[in-house]
Amino acid sequence: MKFRSLLLLGAPGSGKGTQGQVLGQIPGFVHLSSGEFFRSLDPGSDVGKLFRQYSDRGQLVPDDFTIRVWQDHVQTLIASGRYRPSTDFLVLDGIPRNVNQLTQLSASLDILHVFHLSCPNREILIQRLAGRAHQGNRADDADPKVILQRIAIYEAETKPLLGAIPRERLHDIDADQMPYQVLRQILQALP
């Protein structure tokens, strides 16, 4: 059985995490953030160290490794009853992040809707990330060079995903709105 999924797609700072967290509070929706999952790994473990090697430079973790740890994580959620594939929607935040990941996951995911949180004004993204850096838990938000690198990788690797999504499943949403306004548009697009 494929996992029924909603995908949040957007540049760093576009609000994927904020929307994912709120949607994840709704019964029947399970928020799955690849970045959050990676950050929860023990920083002293081999997998935790590998993640930091890439994320500290603003680069994507290699696809094969990402897909493997993500699939293990989903299986753990299923085994512990936190995610029930027969009834729940997965709210994917940060994965798939390029066309290769989409291809590798297409056997396990049924992506019903894609919400593109669009913010062409990069200054807004940079300001949001810089603001978040003060909260102190993300080394990759503290360095302006790393922020620019993450935005560049989004443009080069993640944005092309939009071209691989059937038009009727794709919803463009202005990310430069209050979070409740973005949320309203997401919910309105759902049947």
Question: Which CB, 52 or 169, lies closer to ligand ADP?
Answer: 52
SS (H, E, C) 94-152: CCCCCHHHHHHHCCCEEEEEEEEEECCCHHHHHHHHHHHHCCCCCHHHHCHHHHHHHHH
Nearest to 126 by CA among 159, 156, 151: 151
Question: Which CB, 53 or 84, lies closer to ligand ADP?
Answer: 53
Q: How far is the CB of 60 from ligand ADP (least distance, A)?
A: 4
Residues that bind ligand ADP (CB under 6 A): 12, 34-35, 38, 54-55, 58-61, 66, 94-95, 97, 101, 140, 150
Backbone angles phi, psi at 174, to 5 degrees: -70, 115
Taking the C-alpha atoms of residue 61 and residue 50, their distance in angstroms, rounded to an integer, is: 8
Q: How far is the CB of 90 from ligand ADP (least distance, A)?
A: 14
Taking the C-alpha atoms of residue 63 and residue 189, their distance in angstroms, rounded to an integer, is: 30
Return the DSSP state at 62. P
Q: How far is the CB of 191 from ligand ADP (least distance, A)?
A: 27
Residues with Cβ within 8 Å of 121's Cβ and at least 6 positions away in sequence, in order, are 176
Question: Which CB, 12 or 83, lies closer to ligand ADP?
Answer: 12
Question: Which CB, 72 or 84, lies closer to ligand ADP?
Answer: 72
Taking the C-alpha atoms of residue 23 and residue 5, their distance in angstroms, rounded to an integer, is: 12
Q: How far is the CB of 140 from ligand ADP (least distance, A)?
A: 6
Q: How far is the CB of 166 from ligand ADP (least distance, A)?
A: 21
Q: How far is the CB of 87 from ligand ADP (least distance, A)?
A: 25
Question: Which CB, 101 or 118, lies closer to ligand ADP?
Answer: 101
H or E element at residue 55: helix 46-55
Question: Which CB, 5 or 66, lies closer to ligand ADP?
Answer: 66
Residue of this chain nearest to ligand ADP (CB atom) = 35
